[in-house]
Each structure stands twice: as structure tokens, then as C-alpha cells.
Amino acid sequence: MKHYVRILISMVRLSFGLVMPLHGFAQGTFQWTVTFDGPPYIDPTHDIAITYYYEQGMTFRPIGTGQFGRSGGGIPQRPYNGTAFLVAAYTDSLSVTGTPSLFGLVSVDLAEYSTVVPYAVTVRFVGYRYNGSVIVTNFTTDGIIDGMGPLVDFETFYFSPEWSGLTRVEIPTYGWCLDNLRVFVPEPNIGSLLVLAAVMAALRFFKRRA
Ligand SMILES: [Ca+2]
Ligand SMILES: [Ca+2]
């Protein structure tokens, strides 16, 4: 048994020897885009009220007991980018949480509510961070919307670097359309992966010997 323990200690030492020089490197991020294109599938001509949507680790609910909308992307009065998106009618709201629980925001596509109200809209994002602090950003659209016409209805807005370490993001305002929410989480640390690999190898070794 002492022999096995010595081997395990050697492996851990080896893994830390590999890990220590890597500690000086900045941690990267893993980014992805929530498209709201489903599943579940939504017919392009449908506009539906929902209380829950989940995609790629991100959960969307209304703030409190309300609702929000999901549009199929083929309704003439709505902004158009060829895909499904979220929409907030009068009194709607949105709350976003993530898995893993801490996340950051990179960017979001926003557009006006519909061609019937073709005005610029200010969309308020409220971010709740792990340390109890709150960050607020207002994005105002350009007021350009022609549905399926030649104009570009959606604009991409970028969040500042402070939009990280978030536990929850809320949009308390309504009258907007939202698509392509780009999210990030810290990449798994290379050092911790190496230690994990060494421990897994040691466990396999002992299992074979048992
Ligand atoms: Ca989409
Ligand atoms: Ca627009």
C-alpha cells in the first residue's frame, strides 16, 4: 500500500510541477450565442406568450408572475432577421439566469416592437453580480424598422467588461424585440484540468490493482 501512496504523491507532485508555471497566464472565456430559435420549434407566423424558455444553459423567465413573448420571425409587422426572437409586449418583462450560475454578457441584438409603433425604444438591462453590486445599462434603438423590407431592423449592442460575474440579469421595461444574446463564462483553468487528469489517472491505477 505504501508503494501506491508513493506513486500517488509523485503524480500529484508532477501535476503541480506542470501547473505552477501556468498560473501567470490570464484566464480565457468561453462564449456562445443564445439564438431563441428553439427547440421548441415555433412556426414563423406565430407570436406566442410564454413564461419559460431555456437554451444552451440559459433560463429565461418573466420578472415575478408576468410573461414575455416569442416570435417566429415571419410576421410582417415585427422586425425581421430571418429567425425567431423574444418580444416584450405591454407589461412584459424578462429575467435571465445561467448554468453555471455566474455568467457575463457580451452583446445583444435589439429592435423596435413593431412597424405599428416604429419609434426608438430604450431597453434597460439590470445586472445582479455575485458580490451584491448592481449594474445598469440602457440601450436605445435607432427607430428604424420596416419588417420584411430592405432596412436592417435589429442592431447589435455591446456590454462593457463590468458585465461579468452575474447571477441574474433583468429587463424591467417592455416594447422591445431581442435576439442573439451573446454570453460568456470563464474557461476551465488549465491547471485545474491537469490536476483533475492526474487524480483520475491515479484512481484508475488503484482500481486496476485492487
Ligand atoms: Ca434568432
Ligand atoms: Ca431598428
DSSP string, 65-85: T--EEEE-S--TTS--SSS-E
| Residue 16 resides in a domain | no
> Residue 181 — pLDDT band, cuts 50, 70, 90?
very high
> Residue 143 — pLDDT band, cuts 50, 70, 90?
very high
Q: Is 53 left (phi over 0), alpha (psi -120 to 50) or beta?
A: beta
User: The pTM is what?
Assistant: 0.78
| Residue 109 resides in a domain | yes
Burial class (CB in 10 A: 0-12, 13-18, 19+), 86: buried
Q: Looking at residue 54, which CATH number applies to its domain?
A: 2.60.120.1350
29-to-26, 35, 188 alpha-carbon distances in Å: 10, 19, 8
Count of domains observed in the chain: 1
| Residue 208 resides in a domain | no
pLDDT tens per residue, range 37-69:
999 999 999 999 999 999 999 999 999 999 999
pLDDT reported for residue 101: 82
Ligand approaching nearest to the C-alpha of 120: 2
pLDDT tens per residue, range 81-121:
999 999 999 999 999 999 868 999 999 999 999 999 999 99
Give me ligand 2 centre to Cα 143, in Å. Answer: 5
| Residue 106 resides in a domain | yes
| Residue 15 resides in a domain | no
| Residue 35 resides in a domain | yes
Ligand approaching nearest to the C-alpha of 180: 1
Write out the residue range of the structural domain in which residue 149 sits. Answer: 28-190
| Residue 204 resides in a domain | no
Give me ligand 2 centre to Cα 42, in Å. Answer: 23
Ligand approaching nearest to the C-alpha of 71: 1
Flag whether pLDDT at 15 surpasses 60. Answer: no
